[in-house]
Amino acid sequence: MASLTTPSRASGPAGYDVEAVRREFPALAQAVNGHPLIYLDNAATTQKPRVVLAALRQYYERDCANIHRSIHTLGERATEAYEHARRVTQRFLGAGSAREIVFTAGATAGLNLIAQTFGRMQVGPGDEILVTAMEHHSNIVPWQMLGQEKGARLVAAPISDAGELIWEEFERRLTPRTRLLAITHVSNALGTINPLRRLIAAAHAQKIPVVVDGAQAVAHLPVNVAELDCDFYVFSGHKIYAPTGVGVLYGKSEWLERMPPWQGGGDMIRSVSFEATSYNRVPYKFEAGTPNIAGVIALAAALDFALQLGLEASAAHEERLRQLATERLKSIPRLRLIGEAREKVGVLSFVLAGIHPHDVSTLLDQQGIAVRAGHHCAQPLMDRFGVPATSRASLAAYNTAAEIEALAAGIAQVQEMMS
């Protein structure tokens, strides 16, 4: 892994060796429809490096046992690897304690857990839950369901044409009725990075706890929950090189201690009788049933991989590519870029005049280029920009400048094919 930061002729200005990074991802070395794969759908999911695949194999080939209960060698190995993953995740997020790390099935599961436990404690009739116009459906629907149950109202802070939160409008919606702010760190459809520290400070000034959806952030910028001072932070493993079906919920221990359990079952209990059950301590009371053990262990491998790559270095690499891609796409006639926030990650949403995003996607795929087409699980946001759907190219640490050039040329070719 040390080779990843060794300078080579393929390096960018900061000595980032993208070709060495690419060699760690077996799936990148394939042809699709007769062309080398150019994978630009990283906001949907990332490809997986060898260390993650090796961690899965090691668990299933050597250490496969249930955790926290098996009094034998394999059980001890599996438990140790699982709890090691909790400590790796704690360090990755800058959390104060490993007890503040709950493993979930993903960001969606984390948000539903918070809504159904913390949310039920926090929100009552006539209260307001504040979100923004750029949220993913998974940071809208759980709060809407909670609001319906409790008679509370969901309020959305509007965004500008550039795709940025409008500060005055946001501040105006922090009212004495606001009981919770749920906000994305990075927009999946626009790439906008929200000014979290300022937003969280403003909410906390009015004693409003803050839930952050970090699904699109963790792979693309360093995150420190202690510095952010957020109350909750959730993300999905698969968007940061880990397998699908595993995720993380960080919560301040003062909240986690007071929250009721979410799902009942094994592992979340201390003792059970038919009269009463006492619950296990934090974080185990939120991890009912046998978890995704292999996924959690592989997640730790993925986070270690991201840390060894250096999130500052990979973020700088992605930023150079984003600037190149923005420049190239903006020079294409009849292309409208959607989302031009000053602070953003490598997400490029666009529409071509007279050509539907689905057709763009199919025709780029014919050239081996994978991009997303659709509403990106953000229909209110699509309505805001007056489009039913967009095409979206999203970058990761292993993309190259040559791939950006191929995307731009590919789009021009699509325009020619459909003319």
Q: Which is nearer to other proteins, 289 or 354 (CB)?
A: 354
Nearest to 149 by CA among 107, 118, 119: 119
* Residue 91 CB partners (closer than 8 Å, separation 6+): none
Q: How far is CA 395 from CA 71, 172, 348, 363, 398, in A?
A: 45, 34, 9, 19, 8
Does 386 engage in binding with other proteins (CB under 8 A)? no
Q: Which is nearer to other proteins, 181 or 364 (CB)?
A: 364
62 forms part of the interface with other proteins (CB under 8 A): no
Answer positive or negative: Cα dihedral of 233, 234, 238, 242. positive
- Omega cis (within 30) before 283: yes
Binding-site member from 20, 303, 363, 371 for other proteins (CB under 8 A): 363
Residue 271 or 419 with smaller CB distance to other proteins: 419
What's the chain's length in residues? 419
Work out which of 182, 190, 389, 411 binds other proteins, going by CB under 8 A.
Answer: 389
> Nearer Cβ to other proteins, position 33 or 323?
33
Based on the shown chain and the rule CB under 8 A, indicate whether residue 382 belongs to the binding site for other proteins.
Answer: yes
Residues 398/21, Cβ–Cβ less than 8 Å = yes
Q: Which structure tokens are listed for 182?
A: 């749920």
Identity of the residue, 127 or 135, whose beta carbon is nearer to other proteins in the bound complex: 135
377 is catalytic: yes
**Judged by CB under 8 A, which of 223, 374, 397, 408 binds other proteins?**
374
Min dist CB 2 to other proteins, Å, is 40
Q: Which range binds other proteins by CB under 8 A, 132-140, 221-229, 339-347, 354-362?
A: 354-362
Q: 98, 137, 366, 380: which one contacts other proteins (CB under 8 A)?
A: 366
| Tokens at 198, concatenated | 């300022």
The residue type found at 172 is R
Residue of 316, 377, 401, 412 marked catalytic: 377
Report how far residue 65's alpha carbon sits from residue 36's, in angstroms, rounded to the nearest whole number: 40
Residue 392 CB, nearest distance to other proteins (Å)? 12
Distance separating alpha carbons of residues 35 and 396, to the nearest angstrom: 20
The verdict on 406 binding other proteins (CB under 8 A) reads no
Q: Are strands 38-39 and 210-213 parallel, antiparallel or unpaired?
A: unpaired
Residues 6+ apart with CB under 8 A from 294: 55, 56, 59, 60, 243
Pick the piece of the chain touching other proteins (CB under 8 A) from 16-24, 291-299, 340-348, 381-389. 381-389
Please report how close the Cβ of residue 368 comes to other proteins at its closest, in angstroms. 11
Residues lying near other proteins in the complex (CB under 8 A) are found at 33-34, 355-359, 362-363, 366, 373-375, 379, 382, 388-389, 417-418
| Residues belonging to the active site | 377
